[in-house]
């Protein structure tokens, strides 16, 4: 059997294959943050399409922590019902379901709300200047990550992903490009990792030990003086024993920069994280070819592979991949005539 279609087990979670749909913002929830028909249709289609693990989009742990006003929310118990419906539909069609818990930090564009950051440095001249977080602000956000996790558990998610990538709040603390604090949250690598460690501890307090906790990182920042994969591996090693089980490896986003992107451009960073932390990783970056994905998995460069844009273009990509890799996927009975 091709590696792409082998099961993958981590803690009590078993995936039917090695394909992951990563979190991709839909900006379709409205200002109240509630899931609606778009989300039910969008995520269910990828479950029907055979994806092994689906990670819901960046979901705000508080209103001012959203990227846009129209992001999904998980800051109130009333959000649980809609999220649970997404989970139940995904499970019905064989996918495992995750949620990305997120705080946008200085990249929040929510109207009429302040944005927070480790330091009062705007992302760009077109963005709001954030307020530097006090110690009380920091502990408040840490607590809200925990509260959001409790809701994610009630909604039935199989995995939670802490969003520490793409220049959002946790990434802002990790990066020397956005963190100029001179207290215990800034300066040294250990200090810049402190906030992440506290968030993970807060999440893990609410998330059962038999369920995996996933961390998304930006392993390369494309600017001199920014973090690189080796640096991120050191940071992960400082916090992994708190309860991190798997790393979702992305790059960029903390500052404006030029990025050289090509199919698989992030895979080498995932390899470094895997080698230097000893944790399983999810790799990706403009991947479209089943043969390329098979190479990544067979050569043990990553345990799982994420497909983002390709799954937006082709919700049934998994079934095409099965044909190209000369194996049989478990097609829905309603679609069997297409397989034959």
Averaged pLDDT of the chain = 97
Partnered with residue 131 across adjacent β-strands are 116
What pLDDT does 330 receive?
83
Place of tokens 């906030």: 195
Nearest to 251 by CA among 234, 231, 275, 276: 231
Is 177 within 8 Å of 159 (Cβ atoms)? no
Residue 150: count of CB within 10 angstroms of its CB: 16
Distance CA 168, CA 25 (A): 13
Ranges under pLDDT 70 in the chain: 340
What pLDDT does 233 receive?
98
The pTM of the whole model exceeds 0.85: yes
CA distances from 155 to 28, 151, 210, 242 (A): 20, 6, 17, 23
Distance CA 310, CA 321 (A): 12
Give the domains, in start order, of the chain with CATH numbers: 3-339 (3.20.20.70)
What pLDDT does 328 receive?
84
What pLDDT does 340 receive?
66
CA 299 to chain centre: 24
What pLDDT does 2 receive?
97
CA distances from 240 to 153, 202, 205, 226, 298 (A): 21, 14, 14, 22, 26
Q: Maximum distance among all alpha carbons in the chain?
A: 64
Partnered with residue 160 across adjacent β-strands are 99, 213
Following DSSP, what letter does each residue of 291-324 receive, concatenated?
Answer: HHHHHHHHTTS-SEEE-SHHHHH-TTHHHHHHHH
């Amino acid at each position: 059997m091709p590696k792409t279609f082998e099961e993958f087990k981590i803690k009590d979670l078993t995936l039917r294959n090695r394909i992951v749909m990563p979190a991709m913002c839909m900006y379709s929830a409205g200002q109240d943050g509630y899931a609606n028909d778009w989300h039910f249709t969008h995520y269910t289609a990828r479950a029907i399409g055979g994806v092994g693990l689906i990670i819901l989009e960046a979901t705000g742990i508080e209103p001012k922590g959203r990227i846009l006003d129209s992001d999904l929310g998980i800051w109130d118990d009333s959000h649980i019902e809609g999220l649970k419906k997404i989970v139940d539909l995904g499970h019905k069609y064989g996918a495992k379901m995750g949620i990305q818990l997120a705080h946008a930090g200085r990249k929040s564009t929510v109207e009429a709300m302040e944005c927070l950051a480790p330091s009062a440095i705007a992302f760009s001249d077109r963005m709001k200047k954030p307020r530097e977080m006090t110690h009380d602000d920091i502990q408040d956000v840490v607590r809200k990550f925990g509260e959001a996790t409790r809701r994610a558990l009630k909604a039935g998610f199989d995995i939670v992903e802490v969003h520490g990538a793409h220049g959002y709040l946790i990434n802002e603390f990790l990066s020397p490009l956005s963190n100029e604090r001179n207290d215990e949250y800034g300066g040294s690598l250990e200090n810049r990792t402190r906030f992440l460690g506290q968030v993970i501890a807060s999440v893990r307090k609410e998330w059962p030990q038999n369920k995996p906790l996933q961390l998304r990182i930006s392993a390369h920042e494309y600017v001199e003086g920014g973090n690189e994969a080796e640096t991120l591996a050191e940071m992960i090693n400082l916090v992994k024993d708190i309860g991190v089980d798997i790393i979702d490896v992305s790059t960029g986003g903390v500052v404006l920069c030029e990025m050289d992107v090509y199919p698989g451009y992030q895979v080498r960073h995932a390899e470094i994280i895997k080698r230097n932390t000893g944790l399983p990783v999810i790799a990706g970056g403009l991947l479209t070819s089943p043969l390329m994905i098979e190479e990544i998995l067979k050569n043990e460069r990553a345990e799982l592979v994420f497909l983002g844009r390709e799954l937006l273009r082709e919700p049934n990509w998994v079934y095409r991949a099965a044909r190209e890799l000369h194996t049989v996927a478990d097609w829905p009975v309603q679609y069997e005539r297409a397989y034959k």
